[in-house]
Structures are given as structure tokens and as C-alpha cells.
Structure 1
């Protein structure tokens, strides 16, 4: 067993670079001669995205692409008994997050030419939710994907530690067992190295798209993202990002010796954070990453993931003799972050996307409260309305939901041109 007390001491010690700046940004049409790496490409135009999408769809038909969904977390901030993957979230049908992601994959396959390979989907779980997610997927018939096409694999756990840095949280009266939590999304590389199905695919993998389970507007295996990556030979990592709102709980893309992300909970630890308050645009991390197969093979074959640092996150936990959930944080969880692998990439790029169309994370109870106008349901409704209006529909009041089996990102809605639509409407 690792020395988690020593790991915690290291995680709590200052290690952030002093001379961090923000990643510079550039338009896709103004890529400098020295190349785009280490930059953010500002949101491409509509014409550019159409070209990228078409290129990406053609490339998906060639095979060698796979999706990975990070779903090992405990969803403690939601206070839900169900895994986050199985939370009903869509505004009309109450579809779950995992349904939305897998149905979008199915839509992509429908857009690809007949006879092309299926798109493999890997889902990282933990021992806390693996059985529930596996059972739920089976009840959904894998959203009409082939059973063998969807592979679940488990990440590791680490014990919680009390604030004194020495004691664990016992879960039995004799202290023989202690409370544990998943090791964070950065444990994905270690977990993948033990997944035989993934390692078989990795041999000829071109790119792996990694998304978080909680983004209801995520575009799995996004053809636009693939099309953009293919413009830059040798690219190792391509990240989606959004313009960060002041105080928003998302990590920040920065530039030090190499491009990196500073997690929002660690911004206060920066020796000098004044660069975040200037006039330059601050870009936030969406946990939406495209990795090249070559880069992943190096990370796993050379076991570079073993060099990733742990981060200490404050948590509110109760032990076996507690009478209820503590009102304040009373311990630490130890987590690995996927973005720390960026240190091994020399050809990394970010692309800005439209927050309203592509970023609606489910983090807190308010995010799925229909009475909250900023909830995920309202944001999904806004996307559906925009797609329908772009197709020429005339909309009245109401809630709209478009099945991913009908449209991946607004295509295929031409038949609604000129139609008057209102009320609660599910389009399938």
C-alpha cells in the first residue's frame, strides 16, 4: 500500500510555478508560421466548423477512433443516491447523462457511410458505482449500440485522511476498514493499462476522445474536433475550452514551462495570480480532451502516468461514530488530475467553443433544478430552440427536446422549416 500520509504532505506543499501566464489565443485563419501549439484557437466561424465537421465524419469512417467517458466519481455534491451517469436530466423525456452520450454516438454512426467500423466506447467507473452503471446500461440495451462495443473498466481508490495528516476515517468500530474515494480522473491512464480491451484497440488507435460524464451538452467523438486536429500533423493533445467567468469553479489554462491547467481549488495557492485579473481572456477547462494514439502509447508503455502528482481536496466526511454529515470539511481526498499529463506533450493545442451550445455540467443540485433558469434543462431547451430556429421553425412558448437520434449538432431538422411549434415537444 502506498504511503498516503507522505503523499498528502507532498500534495499540500507549494509546487506551482511562479511565472505563469495565460495561454495566447489566435484565430484559425491567422495561425502563425511557427505553428499553433501552446495556444488557444478562438471559436471557429460557422463556415469553418462545417468544413471541420465534414472532414471529421469522413475520418471517423476510416476507424481508429474511440470515446472514453469518465464516470468514476461519487457525485457527493449532488447528494444523489444514483450514479451521476443515471441521473434523469433532459428537459422533456428525462433522459440520463449516459443515454445522451451514447445516443449521440449512435447518431454519428448513422451519419457515417454504411459498413464502417463501430465506434468503441470505454467508460471508467469505480467500485462505488460500477455494478449500478453496468446494470443500468444493460437495462437500456446499451442505447442500441452493440454490447461488446461498450466496455466498462474500474479505476483505483485512495483513503481519505483527516486534517491532521495522519489519521484515516474508520468505517468500522475496530478501525480495520477506512473510508476511501476514487483517485480522480487522472487515474484513467493506470486503469486503462489494465484494460485488455482498450490495450488491444490502442495498438492501432489514432485518437481517443475523453469526456466527463457530467456535461449534458458534450459532443462525444466530435467530428469538428477531429477535423481540427487533423489540420495539425503530429498533434498530441487537443482540448476544448470556454471563456471562464470570474469566480467560476473550473480549472484555468495557463502557460509556464509548458501549457498546463491550474485547478480552481488551487488558484489561491499561486504565488502571483494577478495575471488572471487583467484584460486578457481567461480560458476554463471543460475536461474534454482529444489524445493521439501515439501520445497515449508513450504515456502507457513508459508508465509516465506514475509521475503524475496527487492533489489534496477538502471534503466533508463522517466516520463510524459520527451522528451525521459534518457541516464543514474535515478531511482530504487524494486525487490525480488528467490534465497533469499535459507536461509530457510538446504539441498541445486548445480550441474555444461556445459555452451555451457545448457546456452544461451537472455539478450541484441547482444544476438540475427546473425552477433554476440556469439549470441544465433550461440550457438544453435553449440549444434545441436555437437548432430549430436555425432550421427555419417558428417557435412559441414551451420546452423543446431533440433526440440525439435525430440530430447530433443541429443537422437533419430541415423538415421543420416554416412549422409553428409550441408547448412541450419531444422531437424524435
Structure 2
């Protein structure tokens, strides 16, 4: 062994000994000494890895978290005996009924706020595509659009279009920053993906990545689980950990430096999400809301979406599986569902409100899961039934602390999540593709284009919500069975070399791609 390597190992050993003293005290105090059971059998590198992980855990907080979880499990919380009410009309606005004049007013107000640097977008991007049979983050998924774009690219291009629209309105360069909440599982892949794609031509400093927190997994007796001899079993702390993660990673400070006041939060897997929607921004500004949620009108009583409502006077989300049939099917005098506000997990917060929530202990949600573990003999075991408690918190648990909570109803053209593989035929990549192209078809046909037995994708760089198409599609008859990507001039100039794809695809009997330029 070289002298340099011996020196490095000695230095690591010294650091390990120093850390060991502090960690041993914490483990003794909180009855978790079993986490060092195999310490003597580990290599120097493995010891350091284990101690680094133990040093990152707040064991006092972990004990309190488990005690909270016990209380939740013991109570077996249900809605029985609680007063559940729909969202009052005073806190309910709708893009479907408020009228074109009001929509335009909100749109202009929102674009002004974006142009003044008061708005940021924040995407929840911690999920892997495991349920879809993929080992990549959901944001990197392509749903086989004519353009081949990934979900992340589509969202970022919507931001670029908003910057352009706001810049034209105010006559200046505009920056709309994007904050990306990742997880241990997705962070590095997303970072590399963005780097390799040059941040899809946004400035690197305007896309800020930060990780959500992790919680240890517990046995039913409160012991933290080892998944390997030198690895603690950990699980993401849920969307409700967003607020603390923002504080811990300097996101609040970065936003304050930029002058951000409003944060639009959305999930990466909703391909239809109108990122930093100016109309929603304008509505929240007018209502002076510190916390708001977009909703859709449920089309059936037990639809697979959470219900935004009041529970004992506090705003919350009641999952579709928790609400009783009696409540879910209640109707008003017009025969409409009383509990009609379905959550699509898109929210608007003020910066001040999010900072407050970072200091609040939100209600925990507990799940009993099967977590692989190392037994007392050091043998890796894979349980056949739940053996562990995972604790997480949800972003909507902050609603109850709002002093100006409102909802904003939108159409289904803003909601097409990707939760399942295509084999399920529901909330999957195939339905997301179909829904997006259906919306784009409506844009084209509204302007007189003809898409009979054909499909067209409208680039977000060209149009955010159907605007700016004009003469581009008016009167155009798209060839039957064609698959068209309607690009911005910027894209067309960049992608001209790809025009050969049309003849190539025809040669191999593949649906051709027709590119309409400016």
C-alpha cells in the first residue's frame, strides 16, 4: 500500500474517531445503539460512510417524529364525527365562469408580476419512473410526441415563452427562475440531464436544484432500521418537507435576493400544467391570497383525486378513498356535487407564507411498508409483510395555517398526470400524449386549420396557451395520418438539418413529420 494511501486512511480514521464520540452519545441517549452493531466489521470507508449518515440525522427530531407516528396509528384517524364542508363560494374562483374580460385582466397582471421579477416556478421532481417500468426521473420521460421532447423540456420551454411574452409587454429582458425539488434518487440524474441539454437554453443560474429531506425508517418498536450493515434505511419526507428543504438549502435567501414574492408550485408529471400561469398569479394577487390551490370540477363522485374542503373549519385535502359515499354523492339545489373541488396538486404561495411554514411542524402521515433490513446476525432480509413505519408530510397540510386561502377552478386541459404504465390506460404516458395533442388540435382548429386523421404538436416556444399561431395554421390542411411539430422560428432555424427525417420516415413506412416554419 502506498504511503499516500496510508496517510489518507489514517486521516479518515482520526476523523471517524472524533465523529464516533459525538454520535455514540446521541445513540445512547435516544436508544439507537444497534446502528453501530456491525461497526467493527466495516472497512474504514464503510465506517466513514455510516458515521456521515448518522451525523446527518437529528435523533431528537427522529424520536419526536416516531412518537407522532404512534399517536396517528393509535388514533386510526378517520373522518367520523368531523364536520366536513365544501369550499365556500367566497373562496372559490373559476376560469370557466369569470368571463373573458376578467381573464384578460388577470393575465396582464400576472405578466406584469413576472416581468417585475416577483414570480418563481417550483417543480416537484423527486419521483422516479419506477411504476412506469423506468429507472429514470419522471421529468426525463418522453411520451413520444412528434418533437420527441421530454416533460422537463416542455415545462422549461413554457417558462421561456412566458419570459418572451412578459418581456414584450414591459419592453425589457425578463427572468422567471425555476427551482427544482429533487430527491436522493433523482438529483444527480436531473443535474446531468440539464447540463447535457444546456438547461434548454435557460441561464444555468436561473434553474436551481435542491434536495428534499429524508427521514429514517422505523420498526414498529421505534428502532431505526439498517438496510445494510453500514446504511440506514431512509425514505423521502414527502411534499410537506418542501418548506424546510427551502430554508435548509438557501432557497428563501435566493428568492429574496431576486425579489420573488409569489411561488407557483407544480408536479413534474403533469404534462398539461401551465407553468407560472399568469392568470392564476393575477387571481391570487387580486384576492390577496397567501396560499391557493388550482382545482378541477369532479365529473364523478368518487373520482380518483383528492377533495379540497374544510375539515372542522380548517382547509385540507381529503383523499378520494377517505371520503364517505354519502358525502361524495351529496348534491346542491342544481343537482351538482357539493364536494366538487378536485385537487390537481398545483399551488401558489407567497414567499412569506412558505417561510412561516418552514417553522411549523406539519401533521405527519404514516405508512406501514416492507423495508429490507439487516437482522441481528448481519444477514440481509427481505420482508414478506410490512415491518416498518415511514413518516412523511404533505404540502397541503399548510392550508390550515393560511389567512387567505382560495381555490381557482380550471378545465381538464390543465390536468393529465403520469402515474401508471400504459398497460393501465389511465393517467399514463399514452393518455398524457393524447390529452396534450388533443388540446393542440383545438388550438389549430379554432384558427381554421384542418386536422382530419392527423395530429399536431404546438411548441411551447411558439405558443403558451394557443396565442401566436395566427397565419401559421389558418386554412392549413394537414396531410392525413401526418404527425406534425409546429415550431417557433427559433426552433425551425436550429432544426433545419432534421428535415431529411420526412423522406427517411416515408422510406421506412413510418408516419412522416411535417415541420411548419415561420
| 2:29 paired residue number | none
Per the TM alignment, residue 361 of structure 1 is displaced from its structure 2 partner at its CA by 0.5
Which one of 400, 408, 415 corresponds to residue 359 of structure 1? 415
CA distance in 1, matches of 2:421, 2:239: 21
| TM superposition shift of 1:224 | 0.9
Matches within 5 A, 1:241-256: 241-244=295-298, 245-256=300-311
SS in 2 for 1:287: strand
Check conservation: 1:170, 1:177, Cα contact below 8 A. Answer: yes
Match of 1:276 among 307, 317, 328: 328
- Candidates 103, 108, 119, aligned match of 2:176: 119
Instruction: Look up the match of 1:29.
Output: none
User: Any idea what SS the aligned residue of 2:70 has?
Assistant: helix
Question: How far apart are the structure 2 equivalents of 1:209 and 1:77?
Answer: 26
Give the structure with the higher percent helix. 2
SS of 1:376's equivalent in the other structure is: helix
| TM-score, normalised via structure 1 length | 0.85
Q: Where does structure 1 lack aligned partners over 5 or more consecutive residues?
A: 27-35
How far residue 412 of structure 1 moved from its aligned partner, in angstroms, is 1.0
Per-residue deviation at 1:344?
Answer: 0.9
Contact 1:125–1:155 (8 Å) recurs in 2 = yes
> Equivalent residue for 2:67?
6
Give the gaps of 5 or more residues in structure 2: 1-58, 332-337, 488-518
Aligned to 2:203: 146
Check if 1:226 corresponds to 2:226.
no
1:340 pairs with 2:428: no
SS in 2 for 1:410: coil
* Partner residue, 2:250: 196
Instruction: Give the corresponding residue for 2:318.
Output: 262
Superposed CA offset, 1:281-321 (max 9, x none): 42111110001233224334xx12xx101112354554577
SS of aligned partner of 1:230: helix
Q: Specify the SS of the correspondent of 1:228.
A: helix
* 1:239 and 2:293 matched: yes
Deviation of 1:379 after TM superposition, in Å, equals 0.9
Distance 1:72 1:372 in 2: 18
SS of the counterpart of 2:227? coil
Q: Distance in 2 between matches of 1:230 and 1:9?
A: 41
Q: 1:37-89 CA distances to partner (integer Å, 9 max, x unpaired)?
A: 3x354633561433322332123212211111111234443332001111112
Deviation per CA, 1:245-275, whole angstroms, max 9, x where unpaired? Answer: 444332211113122112345x16xxx6632
Report the more deviating stretch, 15-24 or 146-155. Answer: 15-24
Change (3 A) 1:367 1:339: farther
Residues 326-378 of structure 1, C-alpha deviations (whole Å, 9 max, x = no match): 6x8665432110000111102100011101x1001111113897998961111
Q: Secondary structure at the match of 1:379?
A: helix
Distance 2:233 2:192 in 1: 25
Work out the CA distance in 2 between the residues paired with 1:386 and 1:76: 33
RCO greater where, 1 or 2, for CA within 8 Å and sep 6 or more? 1
Contact 2:295 2:408 in 1 (8 A): yes
Q: Which residue of 1 aligns with 2:97?
A: 44
Structure 1 residue 19 displacement after superposition: 3.1
Q: Map 1:10-409 onto structure 2 (within 5 A).
A: 10-12=71-73, 13-15=75-77, 18-24=81-87, 26=89, 36-37=90-91, 39=92, 41=94, 43-45=96-98, 47=100, 48-113=102-167, 114-161=171-218, 164=220, 166=222, 170-172=226-228, 174=229, 176-202=230-256, 204-232=259-287, 234-244=288-298, 245-256=300-311, 257-264=313-320, 267=322, 274-279=326-331, 280-300=338-358, 303-304=359-360, 307-315=361-369, 317-319=371-373, 331-355=388-412, 357-366=413-422, 375-409=431-465
Are the structure 2 counterparts of residues 192 and 373 from structure 1 closer, same or farther at C-alpha, using a change threshold of 3 Å? closer
Q: Give the 3-state SS of the residue equivalent to 2:231 in structure 1.
A: coil
Q: Give the TM-score of the pair, scaled to structure 2.
A: 0.71
Q: Distance in 2 between matches of 1:219 and 1:364?
A: 22
Q: Does 1:427 align with 2:490?
A: no
RMSD: 2.8
Name which one, 1 or 2, has greater alpha-carbon Rg: 2
